[in-house]
Structure 1
Amino acid sequence: MSRVQLALNVDDLDRAVAFYSTLFDTEPAKREPGYANFAVEQPPLKLVLLENTGAGGTINHLGVEVETSEQVHDEIARLSQAGLFTSEQIGTTCCFARQDKVWVTGPHGEKWEVYTVLADTETFGDAPEFADDNTAAQACCGTDADAATDGVCCTADARRDAVAGGATCRD
């Protein structure tokens, strides 16, 4: 089953978890320091909460969670063929999970990912910082060390420069 993902920045993770647990009548599927996610059955929604003090109440990014890597690769092909600038991340660690994903940027700067979770991880990885125009945006989820060794994506400085120019990073 595919479902839409909404990643929100929150100032106080505990308060946000309490609120969304009540709103959707469910507990988080995953809870780690500074991070929580809910797998809401009805309506089908993956709600991600990222503790980002000072940016609470803003959208971090949007996404579509799919079941398989094949679906991610199909979306990479479809989006590329449609002429959208994509940033592919295969086997990246983000949000306490190993993932395959592709990023695109909407016409007003909104960041979308199509992704699948391959496995849970012990580490957070590096989340995209899409809080607002005053935040240095990062289109890649891999760490600088990942970029240096795996070619996952460009370095943090290159990401900031690319995003400031209206682009996103590629592998």
Structure 2
Amino acid sequence: MKRFHLHLSVEDLEQNVRFYSGIFGQPPTVRKDDYAKWMIDDPRINFALSRRGRKTGLDHLGIQAEDKQELEDLQNRFHTAGMPVLEQRETACCYSRSDKHWTVDPQGLAWEAYQTLEGIPVFGEAESTSGDSACCVPSLSLIRPT
């Protein structure tokens, strides 16, 4: 069963962790110095926060697939939606290695379809000391229509 994914970029991670832990009635499933994630079953959502130096607010939306077939179905839906799709295989970000497909909606909001393959100990393979990536969203110029 797929899970809706929402990722917010925040300035004060601690304040937001306290707030969303109260809203969701549970602490984060994953907690790092710059990142927190709740895997909630009711409602079924993967809700993530990061403090990585990007503009605060909504970073991207997505749908997390549980298996390869669900991810393939989501990829087909992205293509059907009529916008360009960028594929990433075994990419590392948000303390996970995943297969992903990215697109943008007509307003330019990034959408991600992905299957997590495994957890990893770092935010991403290309760790940046500048913290300029909230959650490895590729450059929108790679997926926006020209």
TM-score when normalising by structure 2: 0.83
Partner amino acid, structure 1, of 2:74: E
1:168 aligned residue: 143
Percent identical pairs in the alignment equals: 31
Whether 1:69 aligns to 2:68 is yes
Q: How many residues align?
A: 139
| CA displacement at 1:54 relative to structure 2 | 7.0
SS state at 1:80 partner: helix
Equivalences for 1:12-91 in 2 at 5 Å? 12-53=12-53, 55-56=55-56, 58-80=57-79, 82-91=81-90
Matched letter for residue 10 of structure 2: V
Q: Deviation of residue 5 (structure 1)? A: 0.8
Letter in 2 for 1:80: H
CA deviation after TM superposition for structure 1 residue 107, in Å: 0.3
Larger relative contact order (Cα-Cα within 8 Å, sequence gap ≥ 6): 2
Looking at structure 1, the residues matched to 43 and 82 of structure 2 have their Cα atoms a distance apart, in angstroms, of: 31
Whole-Å separation in 2 of the counterparts to 1:109 and 1:82: 13
Residue by residue over 1:48-96, the C-alpha shift from the partner in whole angstroms, topping out at 9 and shown as x without a partner, is: 001145733x101001111012322232234335532001111110100
TM-score using structure 1 length: 0.72
Gaps of 5+ in 1: 131-137, 141-158
State the alpha-carbon separation in 2 of the partners of residues 106 and 69 from structure 1: 23
Q: Say whether the 8 Å CA contact 1:12–1:53 is kept in structure 2.
A: no
Where is the strand percentage greater, Structure 1 or Structure 2? Answer: 2
Matches within 5 A, 1:107-126: 107-125=106-124
Q: Secondary structure at the match of 1:116?
A: strand
RMSD: 2.5
The 1:55/1:83 distance shift into structure 2, 3 A limit, reads closer
Q: Please give the secondary structure, in 2, of the residue aligned with 1:46.
A: strand
**Measured at CA, do residues 70 and 168 of structure 1 come closer, stay the same or move farther in structure 2, by a change above 3 Å?**
same
Q: Is residue 128–residue 139 contact of structure 1 (8 Å, CA) maintained in 2? A: no
Gaps spanning 5+ residues in structure 2: where?
A: none
1:95 maps to 2:70: no
